[in-house]
Chain A
Amino acid sequence: MSQKVLLSSKEVNITLHRLACQLIENHDDFSETALIGIQPRGKFLANRLAKILTEDYKIKNIQLGHLDITFFRDDFRRGEKPLEANTTIIDFIVEDKNVVFIDDVLYTGRSIRSALTAIQSFGRPKDIELLTLIDRRFSRHLPIQPNYRGRQVDAIDNQKVIVKWLENEGEDAVYLVDK
């Protein structure tokens, strides 16, 4: 199994700061913004961005939530593996908010399609943007594109992008792996 480093720890850090700055350009003081990490992997990125915005850019009262999309997925009963549910934590109103979906890898776009449906259970956002660390272009099944992207990658279907986080896997890094 060959493995290629797409982003090193230092590159992840630089990219996260750039993404944080891009969010500030569009969202000002974040009073009307909600950051929503898509479960299970998007929450790490969302938590990290919220931390950078709070600690390095002194933005107060960031509304941060985690959204689980399991019950909204379009592949229930279609795969070999059962779908496992994760926790949803959205303890604020999303009605009329500028919602930013945050996920680590954008691949087919189906997770984001599910998230677009799932978020409606919490109200009608003013608008929804998408932030992703890795954008696997040429592999989309749906007309969904990110508003903020860390790195664009050309990967073929039998390759996998693996994002590791310091707090979960002990290192910040992005790898491209042959399945």
Chain B
Amino acid sequence: MSELSVNHLLGIKYLTKEDINLIFETADQFKEVINRPIKKVPSLRDITIANLFFENSTRTKLSFELAEKRLSADVINFSASQSSVKKGETLIDTVNNILSMKVDMVVMRHPNPGAGVFLSKHVNASIVNAGDGAHEHPTQALLDSYSIREKLGSVKGKNVVIVGDILHSRVALSNIYALQLQGANVMVCGPKTLLPKYIKDLGVKVETNLKKALEWCDVANMLRVQNERMDISYFPSTREYTQQFGVNKELLDSLNKEIVIMHPGPINRGVEITSDVADSKQAIILNQVENGVAVRMAVIYLLASKIKQ
């Protein structure tokens, strides 16, 4: 097995366990590449990639762009705020116009769930989903699992709790799929208002007491409260949220084991996680960022290898 089973990366739901293993094994090699004095390989010099960001992003966009450039792909960037989308152009028209400039691959972030799947059915290019609404963010889940594998040796059998705003989080859903596919036990923890009603149907444990969740887990993935997606008030105040679902040093010290702390960023310091925890050696937040480039290089490389000349 040395080829992905898919032509697009639309979500973890569409991947197999073997796909994830292949991505990780390839990412191992790219991680070595990005630690060389010259961090670039010429593999994709005849591939052009368009990064279409219909929603704001800093680290994902930078990470994808860096991954593409380190593979020697030609890169064009597009932000919805500066585009003809504002003039009323449809998504398919926008993308087809870009593709007629001979683009081979599209990395897209879009506020609507399913935008990547929709696009893959209507345009002739390899699509990578860089986040579609509250649906999936597959590369984030891959780099999260890759970071757990790096830190703990494997993902299988590990207890992972995802804490926070599960309702609005594409990172949570992709992580649940990815972790379960690799044989981890998954728990979600947060205020009841931020836990989707049928979350148990995904086969995850549900906990509303953070202390109990942390006592159970090997890894805690702390999510950001997504105020920008909240149209109503889901909890009384940020202060109350922090008191019940924020991780601080005292809480970690009260556990009888050392757990791994993750965060997909951007961090709201002092809300879901305090500064002393974010900067502690238990936190692998910056490793996640480094691994993000290697994992995205692997995804792009493996998808590009399926684009025939």
Residues in A lying within 8 Å of B, measured CB to CB: 68, 70-73, 76-78, 81-88, 117-118, 120-123
Contact = CB atoms under 8 A, between A and B. Distances in A.
Contacts of B44: 76
Contacts, number: 56
B87 interface: no
Contacts of A72: 41-43
A73 B38 CA distance: 17
A85 B29 contact: yes
Interface in B293-309: 301-302, 304-309
9 contacts: A68-B29, A76-B305, A77-B309, A82-B305, A83-B305, A85-B29, A87-B29, A88-B32, A122-B37
Given A82-B306, A86-B29, A87-B29, 7 more contacts: A71-B71, A72-B42, A77-B309, A82-B305, A118-B41, A121-B38, A122-B37
Contacts of B36: 121-122
A127 to B, nearest CB: 19
A81 B3 CA distance: 9
Given A77-B305, A77-B308, A71 B37 contact: no
A84 B301 CA distance: 11
A76 B29 contact: no
Contacts of A123: 37
A118 B41 CA distance: 8
A88 to B, nearest CB: 5
Given A121-B37, A122-B36, A123-B37, A84 B2 contact: yes
Main secondary structure of the interface of B (DSSP, over half): loop
Nearest to A86: B29
A4 to B, nearest CB: 31
Interface in B23-51: 25-26, 28-29, 32-33, 36-44, 46
Nearest to A93: B37
A77 B43 CA distance: 9
Give 7 closest A-B pairs by Cβ, nearest first. Answer: A71-B41, A121-B38, A85-B29, A71-B43, A121-B36, A84-B2, A82-B3
Contacts of B41: 71-72, 118, 121
Interface residues of B, number: 27
Contact of B29 (A70, A81, A120, A122): A70
B38 A88 contact: no
B105 to A, nearest CB: 12
Contacts of A86: 29
Contact of B304 (A77, A81, A87): A77
Contacts of A70: 29
Nearest to B46: A77
Given A85-B26, A88-B32, A77 B42 contact: no
Nearest to B305: A82
Most buried by A among B28, B41, B305: B41
Contacts of A76: 43-44, 305
A125 to B, nearest CB: 13
A82 B303 CA distance: 11
A68 B28 CA distance: 12
A72 B42 CA distance: 6
A72 B219 CA distance: 37
Contacts of B71: 71
Contacts of A87: 28-29, 32
A131 to B, nearest CB: 24
B19 to A, nearest CB: 13
B2 A71 contact: no
A87 B41 CA distance: 15
A116 to B, nearest CB: 12
A73 B291 CA distance: 24
Contacts of A71: 29, 33, 41-43, 71, 301
A41 B7 CA distance: 30
A41 B33 CA distance: 20
Contacts of B38: 120-122
Contacts of B308: 77
Contacts of B302: 82
